[in-house]
A and B are shown apart, each in its own frame.
Chain A
């Protein structure tokens, strides 16, 4: 990508020589491997650099946004599993019933609908037309942090974007669970459970559910870290100051010190997600044990 941090800050009145000197001072003219070495060395000492644009340490810039994204992720995740698991259960237990067709139809629609379109429709409907929820930001203007009103306002700002994420994001969970249940319920050990006299309801709660949830448990780590990465579209549409938007902004204004740390963080999240998934799977499935 052409340009560097200074390209975004150029004031036409500043003489070119001065900019050049600044570039030299900041090491921007060094070859990439020297710049990379400097960056790594600084990070190892706990210095993640400064945002050129905000004139703040990178960690402070990310920290604010991170908190917002954590809240949004948490809300979305809870909604995904709160709505997705019952839908998947119903769909799998009574597969090929009209109710199942309805749920499956919804999941297909969910797969096909781009998040940004869905987000925009929700915004239009509940934000503008009905006016039930605020249409932008993460908290109302001029509310003191720490008050009950502040928390309420935060939650109010979270509802619309988190529903937008969850209602589309849960379709995978529903389908995984549905196919898991359909597969599990014809296994021999389920027939054996029935042959023991286990009632139909208990067959589902005690035998089928846990075995069907394994793929979802395995996916949980990825899901959570993906959410923590922030949703570019949703955050942009709802003007929600989170990580996704920060990433987009920092790239478009060439704020590379922020972008670098974000990319590093995404990498870490991916690793943590995998690890988390492995750990969860090893807890729920005795056949997998980490030695």
Chain B
């Protein structure tokens, strides 16, 4: 297509455990168009934050391989000096915990002015007034006073607005939001999500939204990538994914949420735990150990992401045979089908 803002190809980020590197992000490929919100969903240990940090090259002790094409440059090939002009400039990040993301010893306005100075966005004389303007842009009442304040004098929601003000200060082309509302109260979360959406439309930028909250994904994203054990297991446009989830992990995850229709009933539980980085069978379907009732033949060796309908990609063939064990109707139905199939086979 060539119009991608960001094109990640085969990104592999490895961390050292006992002297050996193990990939926490294992061959992730992902595109983001301008003006598109792509959500990266997964649970802790899925590698979603490690992916975000890799794009910004913020890892301290990791080996990053693959290709990260951003506005015509492969970020993995450019040096630190060049990278520093991109970080906080064309590509900016919003962090998870606003309580710890700001320097406690620096006035708010100085923390914003710092990024304006680095990226030479405004002349020295205009920086201060622009910082105040940004504060007011992210919905902070009394921006002049807040500019003079230190982080500890602000509430969590206000601090997250400051973090967002820093991120949008240089009108980034790509905004990476790493769990931007996880630490916030639900009414504040709604406000912050509104703000991010509004700014994204304003700046016409792409957004990579990292989150574990499927509700946030449904509301915010245009496309969703689901990550499990370092790999993307399913990518689809948001409506498609929530209406017709295919991969067993996606379906399990959606079913483990409490739903209005089934108050008080038992929730779906995913058996087992996410495998540890250094104890993972990397050649087979990584979700297989957690759906042991699905026969081994259903899985594919070295499973790949395949397009099963336009723009809908799923990894491994096991989705075809998958049924939720906790759903007695479907479970029974599938078992019956299998029995019938088996019977036919015997007949033949």
Q: List residues of chain A with CB under 8 Å of any chain B CB.
A: 187-189, 191-200, 206-207, 210-211, 284-287
Contact = CB atoms under 8 A, between A and B. Distances in A.
Nearest to B166: A196
Nearest to A207: B103
B85 A197 contact: yes
Interface in B63-119: 80-81, 84-89, 92-93, 95-97, 100-106, 114-115, 118-119
A187 B150 CA distance: 17
B84 A199 contact: yes
Contacts of A191: 58, 95, 101
A188 B100 contact: yes
26 contacts: A188-B100, A188-B101, A189-B101, A193-B103, A195-B56, A195-B88, A195-B92, A196-B87, A196-B115, A196-B118, A197-B84, A197-B86, A197-B87, A197-B119, A199-B81, A199-B84, A207-B103, A207-B106, A211-B103, A211-B104, A211-B105, A285-B105, A286-B104, A286-B105, A287-B150, A287-B152
B80 A197 contact: no
B89 A200 contact: no
Given A195-B88, A196-B88, A198-B114, A188 B95 contact: yes
B38 interface: no
Contacts of A187: 100
Interface in B311-327: none
Contacts of A284: 105
A148 to B, nearest CB: 44
B84 A195 contact: no
B115 A197 contact: yes
Interface of B: 56, 58, 80-81, 84-89, 92-93, 95-97, 100-106, 114-115, 118-119, 150, 152, 163, 166
Closest 6 CB pairs of A and B: A196-B88, A197-B88, A188-B100, A197-B87, A196-B115, A286-B150
Contacts of B58: 191, 194-195
Nearest to A211: B105
A198 B103 CA distance: 13
A188 B84 contact: no
A189 B86 CA distance: 18
Contact of A189 (B80, B88, B102): B102
A187 B58 CA distance: 13
A187 B104 CA distance: 11
Among B56, B84, B103, B106, the one with the most A-chain Cβ atoms within 10 Å of its Cβ is B103
Contacts of A197: 84-89, 115, 118-119
Q: Which residue, A187, A198, A200, A211, has most C-beta atoms of chain B within 10 A?
A: A198
Nearest to A198: B118
Contact of B100 (A189, A286, A287): A189
A98 to B, nearest CB: 17
Given A199-B81, A207-B103, A284-B105, 6 more contacts: A189-B102, A192-B103, A195-B87, A197-B87, A197-B89, A198-B118
Contacts of B95: 188, 191-192, 195
B88 A210 contact: no
Interface centre among A188, A196, A284, A285 (most CB of B within 10 A): A196
A146 B293 CA distance: 95
Given A287-B150, A287-B152, A192 B101 contact: yes
Given A192-B163, A198-B114, A210 B86 contact: no
A192 B118 CA distance: 14
A285 B105 CA distance: 6
Contacts of B56: 195
Contacts of B103: 189, 192-193, 207, 211
B23 to A, nearest CB: 21
A195 B104 contact: no
Contacts of A287: 104, 150, 152
Nearest to B116: A196
Contacts of A188: 95-97, 100-101
A196 to B, nearest CB: 4
B285 to A, nearest CB: 34
Which residue, B84, B105, B152, has most C-beta atoms of chain A within 10 A? B105
